[in-house]
Amino acid sequence: MTPAELSAALLAIVTRAVERRGAQQEVSVSLDDVVLERPRNRDHGDWASNAAMKFAKRLGTNPRELAGEIVAELTAVDGVASVEVAGPGFINITLDAAAAGALARTIVEQGDAYGSNDQLAGQSINLEFVSANPTGPLHIGHTRWAALGDSIGRVLRASGAQVANEFYINDAGAQMDNFGASVLAAAKGEPTPENGYPGAYIADLAAAVREKVPNLDELDDATALEAAREIGYELQLAELKESLLRFNVHFDVWFSERRLHATGADGTSAIDQAVERLRAQGHVYEEDDAIWVRTTDFGDDKDRVIKRGNGVYTYFAADAAYYLSKTDRGFAHKIYLLGADHHGYVHRLKAIAGAAGDDPERDIEVLIGQLVSVNGARLSKRAGNIIELNDLQAWLGTDALRYSLARYPADSPLTLDPEVLRRRTNDNPVFYVQYAHARTHNVGRNAASLGVDRSTFDAALLDHETESALLGALAEFPRIVAHSAELREPHRVARYLEELAALYHRWYDNCRVTPIGEDPVTEVHRTRLWLNDATGQVLRNGLALLGVSAPDRM
């Protein structure tokens, strides 16, 4: 019996209790009302529910009395071994071994799909993260958002949402001109200009410009600057994409800010149109020769200028146009992942949503990440003033880096210990989980060599206490995935995998999948192979949600 099947049975029982009291018009019952939890103390059963406590008051009855009614019916459900009322009205449920053990076969048969759920089905989400300026390499802060953002996207998709990972390319504005001037100066052997970009990577880009534009010295200043800027931009953006792909991070959309400034056939830009759309919503006014958006209507600390008196649009205008473009592309919900220095953007972005006619509390989320550091990490030789993603990846490895960065909540400052991450020991969390997965494959190989296969399955034979604990944890996986997606917290998957690995190692020490010596292969061995392979499948599925590999051998 799966948790979903048990929840369905409980839902039907509570619904009947409501109907018996004639309260179905006033009291509605859904699956969200009968969520099952794993008791911390396994002596209290396999599952627990507080449904009686939740509905007793609305039904005008005592929680323990209502719990007693529910228990009477639950006891008769196939696969339920015992049910008892505890405390003020908690319901503790114990499954019989066969009902609990059947999950092993279910997991193996579902394969990669196990853990997926429809919690967020029907939601269309735009997930924007990293969004680094294409003026230099990705640094350690971008690395954290790359790992975390990609993992959030994976758990959202596993929970039924339609998700587009999006990278906003800040390729307009003064920083691009400063970048171009830096590349041009290096190409001409001149010092880095004021507000320019230093670093050996600029020299590399300059060399590429020289190669592509042999007559650079013969061009007028404006043409030479444009050539240096555009060639440097193209090459640097290509490197960003390459670095992210090597880090196992995929973006569905690379959105250029230049699209917002480009003028269409009607002579207007997306930014022009955005201002008019906000004006139509009634939140735009003019004062001191400037155009303002009344963002204080939506919790911002001050109204924002969207167009200055000199006719120049502000960054706020581009932000508004970009937000509206996401709506126009069919995304009802927008998630922004921003760095620790972007706290000021939270109210601004929510105000844009409100001014656009959306619900700032429902249609937009802004997640702020905290700083991350790595003990002993050296500044990039190429960039000179940052710790690069490429260097971190080469030093620590993709798996260790991704797992460690996704293992903690976004809002917690983080310092990674490279000595731990490079160890092949159990105190390295990613090694511990990957080793558990590799061990399931090793058990499978040994089983095959001794003639143990999955030709038969008797769930009732999985009755050892370590099997009960392992099956209980495996049953939790879909709920963990759904909860991680709902809260945008993939670290819950990582912590779950570590607990699952510990339970698997304990089971491995107590229950043999292969016979000893000349002992014959029995149904117990074959059935345990199902449980072994089910555990490997869940470990593999969980690691995939974090963008981490699941090696067969270690």
Q: Is residue 62 part of a domain?
A: yes
* Cβ atoms of residues 200 and 384 within 8 Å: yes
Q: Is residue 201 part of a domain?
A: yes
pLDDT for the residue 2: 81
Rg (CA), the chain: 29
* Cβ atoms of residues 497 and 550 within 8 Å: no
pLDDT for the residue 430: 97
Note whether 179 and 73 are same-domain residues: no
Position 50 pLDDT exceeds 80: yes
Domain count, the chain: 3
Domain boundary among 212, 246, 280: 246
| CA–CA gap between residue 115 and residue 123 (Å, rounded) | 18
Domain boundary among 95, 125, 140: 95
Position 281 pLDDT exceeds 90: yes
pLDDT tens figures, 412-446: 999 999 999 999 999 999 999 999 999 999 999 99
Strand 333-338 to 304-307 pairing: unpaired
Position 500 pLDDT exceeds 90: yes
Q: Is 432 exposed, middle or buried (0-12, 13-18, 19+ CB in 10 A)?
A: middle
* Cβ atoms of residues 231 and 242 within 8 Å: no
CATH of residue 62's domain is: 3.30.1360.70
Position 13 pLDDT exceeds 90: yes
Mean pLDDT of the chain: 94
DSSP string, 406-451: HSS-TTS-EEE-HHHHT--STTSHHHHHHHHHHHHHHHHHHHHHTT
Note whether 72 and 180 are same-domain residues: no
Position 526 pLDDT exceeds 90: yes
| Six token digits for residue 398 | 């993709």
pLDDT for the residue 44: 84
| CA–CA gap between residue 18 and residue 24 (Å, rounded) | 6
pLDDT for the residue 125: 98
| Six token digits for residue 497 | 């995998």
Q: Which residues constitute the domain of residue 230?
A: 174-246
Q: Is residue 263 part of a domain?
A: no
| CA–CA gap between residue 97 and residue 527 (Å, rounded) | 13
User: For 242, phi and psi rounded to 5 degrees?
Assistant: -65, -45
Domain boundary among 95, 118, 138: 95
Q: Is residue 526 part of a domain?
A: yes
pLDDT tens figures, 116-157: 999 999 999 999 999 999 999 999 999 999 999 999 999 999
Position 89 pLDDT exceeds 90: yes
Region 488-502: mean pLDDT is 98
CATH of residue 528's domain is: 1.10.730.10
Q: Is residue 454 part of a domain?
A: yes
Q: Is residue 440 part of a domain?
A: yes
Note whether 85 and 179 are same-domain residues: no
pLDDT for the residue 341: 78
Q: Is residue 380 part of a domain?
A: no
Note whether 430 and 526 are same-domain residues: yes
* Cβ atoms of residues 137 and 384 within 8 Å: no
Note whether 89 and 199 are same-domain residues: no
Category of 67 on φ-ψ map: left (φ > 0), alpha (ψ -120 to 50) or beta: alpha
Q: Is residue 241 part of a domain?
A: yes
